[in-house]
A and B are shown apart, each in its own frame.
Chain A
């Protein structure tokens, strides 16, 4: 985290202790914290790279194309996908890494986009459901349709990404247990699980071997 202490030399009237007290008091948290954080950032030594607290620009690859967005340090990958990038396939359902509805591929591996900070994906590659179906994941999406691996559809893009990752990893050798494990972190309220498993296995059969 770099420097966390702040003993003197800061902006007038602000010490680290006061900053923390401001944070501890719920009172006017927003009103107090942001200016305080800005002051800390301004005071950082020249050899320390400080990002935030206001939005900063970052560039990442999204569905194969470079995209530059503004993100605050507290913005998650899911926040920037859904708002500035307008990719709404990944859903904000629990926003705490428990449901999988926001699953995307980060450098090819499935992650919960709600639990990855946007600033941490600068320079990396993100593939959403919208991008997955444009590539090898198309066969998985087709299998989802053929097997009816969906009902309301809200968890479905996340399920699709998780299944596409499993199919890409295991190819035609994908087993039922591997498919279950790959989707164990994706919740569905409609109860689409049996058809999701059928779809993953059907798609795997048509996939090229590793």
Chain B
């Protein structure tokens, strides 16, 4: 083990810390690290392939003889399949296979019933249209509150729809004596906040192209957030050694948490490819994706926030539930995640309904929980007669977020734009500002390996089985290796998304980049040492006297050569080295703090909310590439606005089917809805791993909806406690407020 003194911290909060680390692992970069590439704006290394359409995604693969498959799905929320007639279908032109799938009882609209495979898409259309299924339709319930009622149909006949209470909640466990704190509180605000079901709808749906070789080896191009998990699962399911399964995800069209394991379409592609002895394409269409591809559970959060008249928050308590669909877990709302409120007693439970399966969705539990928590904080501030920003600054103990509040306030113009009297703007368009905090937890981990090969011509290749779901993982790996070798990131070729390479982590929890980045840096160090050794031997100098920068290698006595020429000294096989992800160290901050401020304009005649500007101040430790990082924060903010204002999976109570499974009926934010977004990264030297990097994808979407809702309240004087804040809801809330004033 080695010990290194590293300067950690942010702004003027600096501490020198001694970090014990493995000899092979370079010491974490401190505040004073002088870096050539890391922290600059680096263009995405696969950017041109994406822009030009040359990038081939799973559904773009065209192996010879490709056949097409589609799943026939149950139109009822709850039914027994009594008959599936496929005989006529099997004899239709072009049809290669038609099979029943899944069990007899179906518990959500969209459940697979049959699958058809044909030689071309038009034959497939005809064949799917000819499938006849008879059902015995059974009672169902698709709304969480209705599912709690006595006599409601049960998803699992052996257990109630109401899941076990979970006091742990998300993002902050129970603490203190909540009842006592409530009794002692000088001020209390109590309200019920509600959030909707949001579907992931990545533009690329779930799906795969599968092909089996004659000797029984499977190649699967799959749209997945975990190449490794899909390989292991397919090997298990189809009873072949994992070594005989190759999963490829070179490009991936978005997942946001819904693509960790195989979906029915992926399994069917593999099964049908084996059965028909042809490559098979099976991708969801948009409707299937909306119905079955995953969703963020809804929530009903009945909460009380209490504290002292001076604005100190002392207690949060209440009861929350939501539906994760067919299951019971994963519906918790992270409404205790911020401020480390001393007494916390929030009970959470999930409610089973006859809908598909909720899945992890970008910061699970957090946008909904923070929407409720930060709404209550504003209500508490109002009760205390204080500026809500002052209440936050008074209560917030997070070392980075404490610094972020004033940065955000200044950039949004809090003093100038905050309405002292909400709704007092002249005319129908009312403006205001609001803010909210966020948090995320992950600095990555695991023991992932990154391989780097340097050839005698100076070409550098980085290999890992990890996938890039759009965040820029390839670019991060290139930057970190380039930094250590002193070359341009564009000179580093990154080959990832292939299970032939060393396994990589699944892309979830904002852990991808911080899980593989430090290993890439270590591999870069090993590669530099390898090149330095041969150059030092040739020059007759100490290897540790060499420097690598600007594509050149320099040594004592004015010795200098290009990186390529230096590599020419390598043995004929070049250099193959690896880096390994080590355990995290105790960093400056164990969590990522973020704050967002929104300025909105609300037309009180139409109910339309427009977000005009968002300031997003975030900490993700060391930012490796500020350009792609800014893209991620933009995306988190825009998804948050979309969640706040537009999105809602609507289920027909009578049939249980989704009534808006299209982009014209399930609205997501578009170009016209996008405000000015001002992204600020706090330069935190965290030292939690050798790069000091943490996750960024999820924290960026945690505070947005809450900040927008708080801004709407400041603009109009009306508190919206239910998402999305549609024009109809805004008008209704305004009308209710006027009515209440009579």
Interface residues of A, Cβ cutoff 8 Å to B: 26-31, 33-34, 72, 74-75, 79, 82-83, 86-96, 98-99, 101, 128-130, 132-133, 141-142, 144-146, 148-157, 160, 180, 183-184, 186-197
Contacts and interface: CB of A to CB of B under 8 A. Distances in A.
Interface string B22-57: 000000000000000000000110111111111111
Contact of B51 (A91, A96, A141): A141
B151 interface: no
A109 B540 CA distance: 65
A151 B671 contact: no
Contact of A189 (B51, B127, B202, B471): B202
Given A26-B129, A29-B129, A146-B43, A191 B634 contact: yes
Contact of A153 (B55, B126, B132, B630): B55
B130 A28 contact: yes
Contacts of B664: 96, 98
B635 A148 contact: no
A157 B52 contact: yes
Contact of A30 (B126, B256, B470): B126
Interface string B278-295: 000000011000000000
A95 B251 contact: no
Interface stretch (B317-325, B547-555, B579-587, B636-644): B636-644
Contacts of B132: 27
A195 B43 CA distance: 12
Nearest to A101: B203
A186 B671 contact: yes
A98 B634 CA distance: 22
Given A190-B254, A193-B674, A154 B125 contact: no
Contacts of A133: 48, 51-53
A18 B224 CA distance: 47
A30 B127 contact: yes
Contacts of A196: 671
A128 B251 CA distance: 19
B79 to A, nearest CB: 18
A172 B330 CA distance: 51
B252 interface: yes
A208 to B, nearest CB: 21
10 contacts: A28-B88, A79-B121, A88-B62, A89-B53, A129-B53, A151-B471, A153-B51, A154-B253, A156-B51, A191-B639
A190 B671 CA distance: 12
Interface in B258-294: 285-286
Contact of B125 (A30, A83, A94, A149): A30
Contacts of B202: 152, 154, 189
B565 to A, nearest CB: 29
A89 B52 contact: yes
B474 to A, nearest CB: 11
Interface in B523-556: none
B92 interface: yes
B628 interface: yes
Nearest to B633: A191
A145 B254 contact: no
Contacts of B127: 30
Given A133-B51, A152-B470, A187 B663 contact: yes
Closest 8 CB pairs of A and B: A89-B53, A30-B126, A152-B470, A191-B635, A153-B50, A191-B638, A154-B253, A145-B47
A194 B677 contact: yes
Interface string B659-671: 0001110001111
A27 B57 CA distance: 36
B495 interface: no
Contacts of B247: none
Q: Is the interface of A mostly helix, strand, loop or mixed?
A: loop
Interface string B108-128: 000000000000011001110
B443 to A, nearest CB: 22
B57 A87 contact: no
Contact of B634 (A27, A95, A144, A194): A194
A189 B668 contact: yes
Contacts of A129: 51-53
A89 to B, nearest CB: 2
A187 B201 CA distance: 11
B627 interface: yes
Given A183-B671, A187-B203, A187-B670, A193 B130 contact: no
Contacts of A193: 634, 638, 669-671, 674
A130 B252 contact: no
B632 interface: yes
Contacts of B639: 189, 191
Contacts of A195: 630-631, 634
Nearest to A27: B132
Interface string B42-80: 011011111111111101101000000000000000000
A26 B579 CA distance: 60
Contact of B203 (A87, A95, A189): A189
Given A88-B56, A129-B53, A154 B47 contact: no
Contacts of A74: 122, 125
A188 B285 contact: no
A123 to B, nearest CB: 23
B1 interface: no
Contacts of B415: none
B677 to A, nearest CB: 6
Contacts of B631: 148, 150-151, 190-192, 195
A152 B507 CA distance: 13
Nearest to B129: A29
A87 B256 CA distance: 27
A96 B636 contact: no
Contacts of B632: 151
Contacts of B230: none
Nearest to B283: A92
A151 B635 contact: yes
B86 to A, nearest CB: 12
Contacts of B126: 29-31, 33-34
A182 B44 CA distance: 24
B468 to A, nearest CB: 9
A210 B55 CA distance: 32
Contacts of A96: 286, 662-664
B199 to A, nearest CB: 10
Given A91-B203, A96-B664, A130-B54, A151 B285 contact: no
Contact of A99 (B43, B203, B252, B253): B203
